[in-house]
């Protein structure tokens, strides 16, 4: 487990840009934590780091948005509105994202539908602008030197 605190939106964006340098095709990152904790901000930073030009907006109504213009295809999902894991499975998001990077907001709910090899980032709101991010490494993530990126 790696812990990192950010004290502003900009710091979380910057962390996302750094994390992006560690990402590979097929990676899956779950972003979990309550509404407004900063999941979409981190996703926007990751997108920037991947060279995505388009502004990232929350995919909560469309469930998943994809961005094809970065160094890797980026798939950004928010499964908050889904009723069940079966619905998530039916959407085929994990397969569609196979050659790219998949970010899933509200990830804890879908962890059991994902391959073992994934990164979980849990956000805790400590106060107005301070967020604790806990990085829980699974599978190949344990062999990566993420300390350089946080
Ligand atoms: N340290 C921080 N990191 C990220 N966002 C922050 C931070 N401090 C304050 N904020 C604010 O919290 C909100 C996070 O929103 P958002 O990323 O959409 O949350 P989520 O996707 O988790 O619902 C934004 O309004 C942002 O400006
Ligand atoms: Mg969001």
DSSP states of the chain? -EEEEE-SHHHHHHHHHHHHTT--TT-EEEEESSTTSSHHHHHHHHHHHTT--SPP---TTTSEEEE-SSSS-EEEEE-TT---HHHHHHHTHHHHTTTSEEEEETGGGGGGGS-S--EEEEEEE-SSS-EEEEEEE-GGGGGS-GGGG-
Mean pLDDT of 123-129: 97
Express each pLDDT in 15-52 by its tens digit: 999 999 999 999 999 999 999 999 999 999 999 999 99
Measured in Å, residue 38 CA sits from the centre of ligand 2 at 7
Q: Which has more pLDDT, 49 or 107? A: 49
45: nearest Cα among 70, 26, 62:
70
Contacts of 148 by beta carbon, 8 Å cutoff, 6+ apart: 22
Q: Is pLDDT at 107 greater than 80 in this prediction?
A: no
**Residue 83 has what pLDDT?**
84
Rounded Cα distance, 15 and 150, in Å: 6
- Take atom 26 of ligand 1 and give the residue whose Cα is closest: 9
Measured in Å, residue 121 CA sits from the centre of ligand 2 at 13
Q: State both tokens at 5.
A: 């605190």
Contacts of 6 by beta carbon, 8 Å cutoff, 6+ apart: 12, 15, 38, 130, 131, 133
pTM reported for the whole predicted model: 0.96
Q: Given the structure tokens 């990676």, which residue do they identify?
A: 27
**Residue 106 has what pLDDT?**
86
Please list every protein residue whose CB sits less than 6 Å from any atom of ligand 1: 6-9, 11-12, 33, 35-41, 58, 105, 129, 131
Q: State both tokens at 23.
A: 């990402």
Express each pLDDT in 42-91 by its tens digit: 999 999 999 999 999 999 889 999 999 999 999 999 998 888 899 999 99
Measured in Å, residue 37 CA sits from the centre of ligand 1 at 5
**Domains (range + CATH), the chain:** 2-149 (3.40.50.300)
């Amino acid at each position: 487990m790696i812990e990192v605190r950010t004290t502003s939106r900009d710091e979380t964006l910057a962390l996302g840009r750094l994390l992006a340098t560690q990402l590979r095709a097929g990676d899956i990152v779950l972003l979990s934590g309550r509404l407004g904790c900063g999941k979409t901000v981190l996703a926007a930073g990751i997108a920037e780091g991947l060279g995505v030009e388009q502004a990232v907006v929350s995919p909560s109504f469309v469930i998943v948005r994809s961005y094809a213009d970065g160094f890797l295809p980026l798939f950004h999902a928010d499964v908050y509105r889904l009723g069940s894991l079966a619905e998530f499975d039916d959407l085929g998001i994990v397969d569609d994202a196979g050659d790219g990077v998949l970010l899933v907001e509200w990830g804890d709910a879908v962890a059991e539908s994902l391959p073992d090899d994934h990164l979980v980032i849990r956000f805790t709101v400590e106060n107005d602008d301070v967020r604790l991010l806990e990085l829980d490494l699974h599978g190949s993530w344990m062999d990566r030197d993420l300390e350089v990126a946080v």
